[in-house]
């Protein structure tokens, strides 16, 4: 199962065993994340092959094991295990052929994800994609994505949630890191996107054992 950012999630699965990873995808992962959608924002793949299911489960368990270990580069090892899971799942994705992201959109997404701290510029993003700004917006809409500006803001909000969960940076420092010079404006945008202020989000996470995004992986 994959939940898109902002989709409400319920982990009360009774006695079922499950493995969970909250993560910000590497730019090269985007093309592997378009699975069959069974509800708005909820995607699912059926692993009917027993060997493939065992392989995916083993790598997810490795992901958790690496994260909780004291081994050097444990986070990198965990992310690589997760990447392998996504690649194996992509190999049996029925939408694989039809879901290839336009290379121009891919370039724009990669640019946006690696320039979160910079002011948004239609021209800069379009230049990275090799098209005009108007045509890039058209491509995003045509393929069912938000506008480049909205896409970047969602990435910024996801990164801000990560930092609020796993760092001791001040809200002002986090705002600056994800591209907002004014902490107050950042707080306004965060509340509009996430539904609560950065301070409330951090307090609730600390008090209720939220799953930390990006590198917080757990098995239950």
Predicted confidence (pLDDT) per residue in 21-33, tens digit: 888 888 788 888 8
DSSP 3-state of 37: strand
pLDDT band at 81 (very low <50, low <70, confident <90, very high): very high
Mean pLDDT on 101-129: 89
pLDDT band at 214 (very low <50, low <70, confident <90, very high): very low
Does residue 198 sit in the same domain as residue 108? yes
More confident residue, 170 or 207: 170
- Among residues 98, 133, 165, the one where a domain terminates is 98
Distance, in Å, from the CA atom of 166 to the CA atom of 161, rounded to the nearest integer, reads 9
Mean pLDDT on 67-86: 87
The whole model's pTM is what?
A: 0.54
How is residue 51 written in tokens? 């060997």
- Among residues 43, 76, 98, the one where a domain terminates is 98
Question: What is the tally of structural domains in the chain?
Answer: 2
Residue 220: is its pLDDT beyond 80? Answer: no
Mean pLDDT of the chain: 83
Does residue 78 sit in the same domain as residue 91? yes
CA atoms within 13 A on the CB side of 173: 6
215 in any annotated domain = no
How is residue 66 written in tokens? 């690496």
Does residue 75 sit in the same domain as residue 11? yes
More confident residue, 135 or 106: 135
61 in any annotated domain = yes
CA atoms within 13 A on the CB side of 156: 28
Domain containing 84: what range? Answer: 2-98
- Among residues 41, 73, 98, the one where a domain terminates is 98
Domain of 175: which CATH number?
Answer: 1.10.10.60
Percent of the chain with pLDDT over 70: 87
20 in any annotated domain = yes
CB 60 within 8 A of CB 80: no
143 in any annotated domain = yes
213 in any annotated domain = no
Q: What is the pLDDT of residues 155-169, one digit of tens each?
A: 899 889 888 988 889
Residue 181: is its pLDDT beyond 50? Answer: yes
């Amino acid at each position: 199962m994959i939940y898109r950012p902002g989709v409400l999630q319920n982990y009360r699965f009774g006695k079922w065993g499950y493995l969970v990873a909250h993560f910000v995808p590497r730019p090269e992962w985007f093309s592997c994340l378009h699975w069959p959608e069974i509800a708005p924002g909820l995607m699912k793949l059926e692993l009917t092959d027993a060997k493939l299911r065992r392989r995916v489960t083993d790598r997810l368990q490795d992901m958790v094991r690496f994260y909780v270990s004291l081994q050097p580069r444990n986070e990198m090892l965990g992310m690589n295990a997760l990447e392998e899971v996504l690649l194996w799942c992509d190999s049996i994705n029925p939408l694989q052929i039809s879901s290839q992201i336009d290379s121009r959109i891919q370039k724009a997404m990669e640019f946006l994800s690696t320039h979160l701290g910079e002011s948004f510029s239609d021209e800069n993003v379009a230049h990275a994609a090799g098209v005009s700004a108007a045509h890039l917006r058209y491509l995003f809409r045509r393929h069912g994505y938000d506008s480049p500006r909205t896409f970047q803001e969602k990435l910024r909000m996801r990164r801000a949630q990560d930092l609020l969960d796993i760092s001791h940076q001040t809200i002002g420092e986090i705002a600056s890191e994800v591209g907002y010079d004014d902490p107050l404006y950042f707080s306004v945008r965060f509340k509009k996107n996430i539904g609560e202020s950065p301070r409330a989000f951090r307090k609730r996470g600390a008090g209720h054992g939220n799953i930390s995004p990006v590198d917080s992986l757990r098995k239950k």
